[in-house]
Structure 1
Amino acid sequence: MPTWVHPQSYWFVLAVATLVALAGTPVVRAVAARLGLVARPTARSMHRVPVPHLGGLAIFAGFVTAVGVSLGWGDRDVLAVLLGGVVMLAVGLADDLWDLPPLAKLAGQVAAALVAVGGGIRIQVLTNPLGWLTPAGGDDLLVLGAWGIPLTVLWIVAVSNVINLIDGLDGLAAGIASIAALTVLVVAMQTGQPLEVVLLMAALAGSTMGFLPYNFNPAKIFMGDTGALFIGYTLAAVSVVGLLKTAAVVALAVPIIVLALPIADTALAILRRLQAGRPVMAADRDHLHHRLIRLGFSHRDAVLVMYLITTWLALGALAVAEGNLLQGLLIVVTLGASVHFVARKLVEWNRQRPRRLGH
């Protein structure tokens, strides 16, 4: 790590990543448009005109530049995160360019996760959430042993796909990723996680925020799988680094809580497709954001609603990280109940609207 890096330098890293992504996105957009690398409207698309994609390359550029000027490449964990990230980026890029078969895409994601695991990024122990059941004088850690390898691969692949599947409206994935990265950044500082975790999250938050102005509705560029898979991978891998350094389950609990919305959306999509007898990887237009649009929300309003929900979840995650489990759970449960109530009212309003208009 460069000797000039100060513990408060996350602000500097955040600024570098933001500025590089902000400056690099128009360049990537111009090159993609010139080469004809655009997302053309389809039956399930929300956009109506061709939009350049591969914006994930600008996000990656912001991230790598900020990491390079702050952490360098000498740290083993940082290098493992970056090498796996490059593989995941390549998988997303190949899918954007050539539309990979689902199994090939999944195999590439597993390969990226295994690169990180091979570099030492793996879940080895977890704080026992039922520590009060541990016999007196016993160890309160759950040692996973060899099971940590498949668990880490599953974690990385799952979070990568969660971000990828939520990328259905302009600015949605980039905004939720920014909120999640900032939340993990704050929690890393609160819980005394090492500087590399703080700076890696600052780099990710900055690069997604720098990309967002060009991606918010109406989007001038999409991140594509190139960006979505890389963002999800980085969130997952860096969380494991934090877990390695603290052996605290909160390192994984925080991203799970703050990403509860896209996680729930992914789980519902899987169940929906299994019940319909369709392939799990098959796309549809029944995601949460699609449902909000059908309820009458505008494109922007649907995204802002999901930002707001994610922010409330982030507050719950911060409370849990502070050790106030009851308060954190109360926030999350209250939010869930509120969202359920509002959703029911919106459904009722949407059903009654044609009748009112008919009168």
Structure 2
Amino acid sequence: MSIYYKAFFVALIVAYFLTPFAKWVANKIGAIDVPKDNRRVHKKPIPRLGGLAIYLATVFSMLIFLPIDRTTISIIVGSTIIVITGIVDDTKSISPKLKLFAQIVAASVLVVGGIKIEFLTNPFDKGDGLLYLKAFSIPITIFWVVGITNTMNLIDGLDGLASGVGAISALSLLFVASKFGYVPIMILCAILAGSALGFLPHNFNPAKIFMGDTGALFLGYMLSAIAILGVMKSVAAITIIIPILALGLPIFDTAFAIFRRIINGRPIMEADKGHLHHRLLDRGLSQRQTVLILYMISIFLGFLAFILTGMEPEKCVIVSGLILTIIFLGASSIGLIELKKQGNK
């Protein structure tokens, strides 16, 4: 167990001490978040290149604690593309199309490195229980990586939210991977969690620095790759449900945001104040209270993912269905309440 602790604490310490450097760089190159609209919760300009510290701490620790093989190299190269894109966007802003293209390239790097979704488990199949994706493997992998990469970016709306949820998700995947004995994946999870938590003291309310697109996209990218390596290559789990729960908060929040915008006839990519953290703030909670509640939700979903990993496939399907139904009904109820409020106004 000592290697996991070492990897975790090395990443944490490096990220903590590199964050002031990232803040200095942000001020030098003009990567500053100036509150220009009512979606911004903060009231004064804040540097937003904290993700650089998370990235450097992660890569540094990977080079120390992981074998330098095809998998490690592809993750480092792909994440570097993501971080460069994030730095440019945090500084000058780039078009969504160019950002999406860079994310597809970064996802393709993982595929070249052998990190791809090759099958899904089918608990109702009396044969080997696997649904092989074949020609669909590459596009589904790219869709997964790009999707998860952006979900983390979408929840990055409050001090400490994305970094804390990212750390919780990484630790959830660590415990899931431990059931399969995937030692390198467990080390990678420990490294990512340590890097995110090392940055958190600088980012928790009141934040001295934001992670920006650089950090949010990087965390999402890394979590998407870890989910493929740590869960979706196992035949012992319902491969699509476990990572969805482990990464539940950003995934569900993004899914409901898309659904909400479609219902309201608005563009899917249009920003709004309908995210879960916005709604909790509207109910009178402080930033800290909101973030802590969302941490608890993320921990609960991660715990469910861990529990389901050890279940028989048939039972896992039933329990997963119940969990997803409850989440959907809860979100629908909140949505109806909001619609009624808007109608009364």
Q: Which amino acid aligns with 1:70?
A: F
Q: Which amino acid aligns with 2:36?
A: T
Which residue of structure 2 lines up, in the alignment, with residue 62 of structure 1?
Answer: 57
Q: Which amino acid aligns with 2:118?
A: Q
Deviations 1:294-326 (A, max 9, x none): 111111111111111111111111111122645
In the aligned structure 1, how far is the partner of 2:128 from the partner of 2:324? 31
1:286 is aligned, of 265, 274, 283, to 274
Q: Which amino acid aligns with 1:291?
A: R
The CA deviation at 1:95 is 1.6
SS at match of 1:120: coil
SS at match of 2:167: helix
1:156 is aligned, of 132, 145, 156, to 145
Which residue of structure 2 lines up, in the alignment, with residue 78 of structure 1?
Answer: 72
The CA deviation at 1:265 is 1.5
2:91 is aligned, of 77, 80, 97, to 97
Which residue of structure 2 lines up, in the alignment, with residue 210 of structure 1?
Answer: 198
Deviations 1:44-85 (A, max 9, x none): 211100000111100001101111111142x11111111111
SS at match of 1:285: coil
Which residue of structure 1 lines up, in the alignment, with residue 100 of structure 2?
Answer: 106
In the aligned structure 1, how far is the partner of 2:327 from the partner of 2:142? 29
**1:49 aligned onto 2:44:** yes
Q: Which amino acid aligns with 1:197?
A: I
Question: Unaligned regions of 5+ residues in structure 2, if any?
Answer: none
Compare 159-168 and 324-333 and name the one that shifted more.
Answer: 324-333
- Superposed, 1:113-192 pairs within 5 Å as 113-131=107-125, 134=126, 138-192=127-181
Deviations 1:141-186 (A, max 9, x none): 2111121000000000111111110001111111111110001011
Which residue of structure 2 lines up, in the alignment, with residue 300 of structure 1?
Answer: 288
TM-score using structure 2 length: 0.89
SS at match of 1:49: coil
- Superposed, 1:301-320 pairs within 5 Å as 301-320=289-308
Q: Which amino acid aligns with 1:253?
A: I
The CA deviation at 1:291 is 0.9
SS at match of 2:120: strand
In the aligned structure 1, how far is the partner of 2:332 from the partner of 2:78? 42
Contact 1:41 1:49 in 2 (8 A): yes
Which residue of structure 2 lines up, in the alignment, with residue 236 of structure 1?
Answer: 224
Alignment: residue pair count: 337
**1:272 aligned onto 2:254:** no
In the aligned structure 2, how far is the partner of 1:31 from the partner of 1:319? 43
The CA deviation at 1:33 is 2.3
Contact 2:32 2:91 in 1 (8 A): no
Identity of aligned residues (%): 43
The CA deviation at 1:10 is 0.9
SS at match of 1:9: helix
Contact 2:231 2:242 in 1 (8 A): no
- Superposed, 1:16-55 pairs within 5 Å as 16-43=10-37, 44-55=39-50
Q: Which amino acid aligns with 1:263?
A: I
Which residue of structure 2 lines up, in the alignment, with residue 222 of structure 1?
Answer: 210
Larger Rg: 1
The CA deviation at 1:249 is 4.1
1:255 is aligned, of 220, 231, 243, to 243
In the aligned structure 2, how far is the partner of 1:207 from the partner of 1:248? 29
SS at match of 2:109: helix
**Residues 214, 252 of structure 1: CA spacing in aligned structure 2 closer, same or farther, 3 A cutoff?**
farther
In the aligned structure 2, how far is the partner of 1:334 from the partner of 1:270? 18
Question: Unaligned regions of 5+ residues in structure 1, if any?
Answer: 1-6, 352-359
In the aligned structure 1, how far is the partner of 2:67 from the partner of 2:264? 49
